[in-house]
Amino acid sequence: MDEADLITALVHHHVPEARLIEVIGHELTFLLPSQGFKHRSYANLFRELEETLADMGLSSFGVSDTSLEEIFLKVTADGEAAHINPTSGKTFNTDRSVYANGQTNSGSSTSKDGRGSHQVKGIFLVLKQFFALVIKRFHHTTRSGKDFLAQIVLPASFVLVSLMFTPIVPPFGEYPSLTLSPWMYGRQFTFFSPDMRYFGEVLLNRPGFGTRCMVDEHLEYVYIDYPCNNITTEWEMSLVNPALIEMLGNPEWTDIGPSPSCQCSTPNKLTMLPVCPEGAGGLPPPQRIQSTGDVLMDLTGRNISDYLVKTYPNLIRTSLKSKYWVNEQRYGGISVGGLLPVLDVDPKTIQNAAAQLGHLLNVTGGRYSKLTLQEFGTFLRYMETENNIKVWFNNKGWHAMVAFMNVANNAILRANLPPGADLNEYGITAINHPLNLTKEQLSEVTVLTTSVDAVVAICVIFAMSFVPASFVLYLIQERVTQAKHLQFVSGVSPLVYWIANFFWDMINYAVSAAMVVGIFIAFDQKCYTSPGNLQALIALLMLYGWSVTPMMYPMSYVFNVPSTAYVSLSCINLFIGINSSAIPFILDLFDSTEALYKCEDFSLDPFSWDFVGKNVTFMAIEGFVYFILNVLIQYRFFLDHWMSDFKKPPITDEDVDVAKEREKVYKGGSSSDILQIKDLSKTYTGTIRPAVDRICVGVLPGECFGLLGVNGAGKTTTFKMLTGDIDVTSGEAVVTGYSILTNILDVHQNMGYCPQFDAIDDLLTGREHLHLYARLRGVPESEISRVAEWGIQKLGLFEYAGCTAGTYSGGNKRKLSTAIAMIDCPALLLLDEPTTGMDPHSRRFLWNSITSVIQGGRAVVLTSHSMEECEALCTRLAIMVNGTFKCLGTIQHLKYKFGDGYVVTMKIRAAKAGTVPDLNPAEAFMESTFPGCIQREKHYNTLQYEIASSSLAKIFQLVFANKEMLNIEDYSVSQTTLDQVFVNFAKQQSGEDDTIVLHPRAAGARRDMRVFPVKTKA
């Protein structure tokens, strides 16, 4: 029978109703009933335990009331409550528990499901870690609306808006060629006068006027209501009043004035258009609709000028659209075969006049002058012809003259084609090309177009400035939440971490750059998307991200608030980008010696050194330089790594247990120590007193070492040094044989760390977190799911494993952080307040998980502000004050050595109903029976005393014997709690200039007064 069975048998001998409810580490916990037992049995039990302490293998024992937390657990967990305490809920208030701290450890082996069959090593581990970090960034990015807005929406929106406004700017020097035809002005009311028959047939037959109805002619016109067709109407005559015909037949009308005149404005009456009487211009001519859709009038044998002038007002009135715009409708016509009178001049007359002029001026003509006068008659004969084509045009149509001249040229061409030729296949098209700009115009246009391109370039810089700045947000978040450090502790080297992040950031940037290039292509910006320039555009955009992104990385060490960093870094990028783009452009405008070219006509290779080549080269170099600089900062290359040579004064007044532990470590400690700390110290820059001062301790396998202390005592600093977060000032620590000074990566592979605050990504699920850290620790890929599921089951996260961590409660986040630390079962677990924010039930669940780790032969270093947690988990603990250990040992050992005895609480009943309870007899009894006791509380019917007696049996016996005489309705006896021991030492914590005054009990004396830090006198 082992010691645990002997202790259990002894307890059951005196209190058969007692139940063994918990075995954690070296402690046995029994639940003692409050009803149905002999009261003297408690005194007998405690007396026998005191007398047989060493023989039973006990170092100490204590008693305490049932805590309110245990009541909560029983209420919320009915099944567990039925197993622990089958009695009614009313007994919870008076139950008492006995904690027996044994010297044996009956730990049980844990499941191996949380560990991989082997650990991936070498380059394969590096690749696995790289892959894990990329997957992490992928999950975060795909679920982050802020990243999508900053990296996709904003850049694309700015570029899109800027290019939408560029068409508003006139395309200087980019006017297209213009095809000239009468139908530029819409449907025409044209005319002809065919006095030459063969010309008239060419104009009347298909294809008619111009080239509109030629075969395969695809001209586009403003008006498409009159398409070319094969239909030509017959000649039609308008109905005319016979009186008008009779009036125009009078002999008073001549060829010069063939019709009534129109009345123009007079001093007495102003008119916008002339007022023409009926019959002005003559009778309406025959007309028909051509295949081109035009209305053609036959003016053969008429005075064309008289008709055009006198019918113009009526034509304008019918086509008047508004007072500001009118369609003239009649922009030209053709008259063919008009006979012109030949000049009646005799060549002899001209020759004689020239001879007389020479005599008059005394000038003698030479050989060529005589030859010219001889041929003058022939020149006059062929200078004019009777058969001609006259083109009429309206000068309000700027292109009307050339358009109708081309109609005449087409008629001449078709009239002279050989017989049998298809007229539909022959024609002349008149095209007007813009004139070449002068040198001055070209310079001005180039400056304006270049200015537009510069504005677009600045908009692109403005858009792309948001992308690298957004990459830093995630890095700042990981640094502030300690997620980055937790990944380092899980075995990732800083180089792999930054390469993976840079790789993913460049992928994201490539997506944004591709969208920008796509928008440029959609808007057909030749300066950027022409075959020669597109490659240069892509290279510039990508290398901008390549150089600016690592330049932003060092800023992740400067800022602590991501939103502030985003705004600041975006402004920095804008300032650098806009100034570096605008200044060279402005300086080039003032450089008169440098020729200006249009982008699309620039024939230089874009990648030439003087054009874009030097910029591309330097941006490529900058990317490497900034990345290497960032990695050096991460490795603290520019910080002083110094080990203090200052000889500190010898340690005095050190507790005996702390001194023994120091001596043990100096001698090499135990060969099986998982963690061994030797004179570990840290002094921050600018301070005199060390934050951690020469602490020494060794932690064995299967041991949970508790580290207690108030805020500022040095607990977190100790953890930071052990995990490599900060440099060590002096001393060293060894984890499974690897020094934190020289082999930090190997230390990380054997260490699990749960930081004080949850270092988790709110956008990753719990399962994805465990998969991530399993990969980082080198778990084989085929076993990652099994290891992750083990962590989920171990910490009770199965219900929430598929939910993002941002939706977890505080308790579930702490469970997840602990599961991350436990993944792959590292030899050492560092748990910094793992149960902060948990409800009692979740806390007990986590305690059981940690207990299984301890029973599995691994070591745990725990910090907590919960004394009950330390009592439940820690096999040993140390209390830190001002960076040093003030005490070290087991829980019961510290209670016995530094506690204040026992606390007796009594509830006094009234002697008669309706009267006030008399507390004086009980007070007199306590002062006389236990000299030196201290009254801690006194209420209406309650007294509480602090007794320094070391005999728990004596206290029970005396109080029970006088219970009826003192009208004691109820009483309880409990040992001084660990909280009280902790508070006694915590009062010694002082600031930088405080003088430390040791607690008297820490030096072995009885506490009989309160001791506070005392300020030194100047």
- Any idea what the CATH number is for the domain that residue 986 is in? 3.30.70
For residues 893-903, average pLDDT: 77
Token pair in block for residue 144 = 């982050």
* Element holding 566 (H helix, E strand): helix 562-589
845-888 pLDDT tens trace: 888 888 888 888 889 999 888 777 888 788 888 888 888 898 88
Q: Domain of 585?
A: 144-169+438-594+607-635
Token pair in block for residue 964 = 């009826």
pLDDT of residue 75 exceeding 70, the answer is no
Nearest in space to 493 (alpha carbons), one of 755, 128, 139, 115: 128
Q: 90 in a domain, yes or no?
A: no
Q: How many CA atoms lie within 13 A of 400 on its CB side?
A: 19
pLDDT of residue 743 exceeding 50, the answer is yes
Instruction: Count the residues in the chain.
Output: 1018
The SS3 assignment for 59 reads strand
334-367 pLDDT tens trace: 888 665 555 566 778 878 888 888 888 888 777 7
Contact by Cβ (8 Å): 137, 500 = yes
Q: 869, 896, 923: which is the final residue of a domain?
A: 896
pLDDT of residue 991 exceeding 60, the answer is no
Contact by Cβ (8 Å): 365, 320 = no
Do residues 201 and 149 share a domain?
Answer: no
Q: How many CA atoms lie within 13 A of 666 on its CB side?
A: 9
Query: Taking CA 1005 as the corner, what is the angle to CA 1004 and CA 1008, rounded to the nearest 5 degrees?
Result: 150
Per-residue confidence at 998, pLDDT binned at 50, 70, 90?
very low
Per-residue confidence at 136, pLDDT binned at 50, 70, 90?
very high
Beta bridge pairs of residue 704: 860
> What's residue 324's pLDDT?
56
Q: 774 in a domain, yes or no?
A: no
Do residues 619 and 716 share a domain?
Answer: no
Residue whose token pair is 């449907």: 187
End-to-end CA distance of the chain: 65
pLDDT of residue 108 exceeding 60, the answer is no
Lowest model confidence (mean pLDDT) among 537-546, 730-739, 818-827, 995-1004: 995-1004
Q: 856, 872, 896: which is the final residue of a domain?
A: 896
Do residues 8 and 154 share a domain?
Answer: no
> What's residue 38's pLDDT?
67
What is the greatest pairwise CA distance in the chain?
A: 174
pLDDT of residue 469 exceeding 90, the answer is no
Rounded Cα distance between 50 and 366, Å, is 159
Per-residue confidence at 572, pLDDT binned at 50, 70, 90?
confident
Token pair in block for residue 128 = 């696995």
Number of domains in the chain: 5
> What's residue 598's pLDDT?
44
Rounded Cα distance between 159 and 464, Å, is 9
* Amino acid symbol at 382: Y
Per-residue confidence at 305, pLDDT binned at 50, 70, 90?
confident
Helices (H) and strands (E) in the chain, counts: 34, 27
Do residues 492 and 448 share a domain?
Answer: yes
Rounded Cα distance between 976 and 904, Å, is 10
pLDDT of residue 457 exceeding 70, the answer is yes
Nearest in space to 280 (alpha carbons), one of 251, 236, 247: 247
Per-residue confidence at 275, pLDDT binned at 50, 70, 90?
confident
* Amino acid symbol at 201: E
Do residues 448 and 541 share a domain?
Answer: yes
Phi, psi of 1014 (to 5 degrees): -115, 135
Burial 836-847 (b: 16+ CB within 10 A, else e): bebbbbbbbbbb
Q: 798 in a domain, yes or no?
A: no
Helix axes 154-165, 494-522, angle to 10 degrees: 30
Contact by Cβ (8 Å): 185, 400 = yes
Do residues 885 and 910 share a domain?
Answer: no
Nearest in space to 210 (alpha carbons), one of 181, 179, 177: 181
Do residues 164 and 209 share a domain?
Answer: no
Q: 932 in a domain, yes or no?
A: yes
Do residues 407 and 277 share a domain?
Answer: yes
pLDDT of residue 785 exceeding 50, the answer is yes
The SS3 assignment for 829 reads strand
Within 8 A by CB and 6+ apart from 623, the residues are: 543, 546, 547, 549, 550
Do residues 151 and 225 share a domain?
Answer: no
Strands (E), 672-818: 675-682, 692-699, 704-708, 730-735, 738-739, 751-754
The domain spanning residue 821 has which CATH number? 3.40.50.300
- Tell me how far CA of residue 580 lies from CA of 265, 456, 587, 864, in angstroms: 67, 14, 11, 55
Rounded Cα distance between 150 and 376, Å, is 87
Q: 368 in a domain, yes or no?
A: no
Q: 248 in a domain, yes or no?
A: no
Token pair in block for residue 999 = 């607690």
Contact by Cβ (8 Å): 886, 879 = yes
* Element holding 508 (H helix, E strand): helix 494-522
Q: 676 in a domain, yes or no?
A: yes
Beta bridge pairs of residue 326: 320
Burial 140-167 (b: 16+ CB within 10 A, else e): bbebbeebeebbbebbbebbbebbeeee
> What's residue 109's pLDDT?
35
Token pair in block for residue 847 = 């305690």
Do residues 559 and 450 share a domain?
Answer: yes
The SS3 assignment for 60 reads strand
The SS3 assignment for 840 reads helix
Do residues 152 and 301 share a domain?
Answer: no
Do residues 509 and 629 share a domain?
Answer: yes
pLDDT of residue 771 exceeding 90, the answer is yes
Q: 896, 931, 946: which is the final residue of a domain?
A: 896
The DSSP code for 35 is S
Token pair in block for residue 946 = 């602090």
Q: 650 in a domain, yes or no?
A: no
Contact by Cβ (8 Å): 696, 670 = no
Rounded Cα distance between 611 and 592, Å, is 18
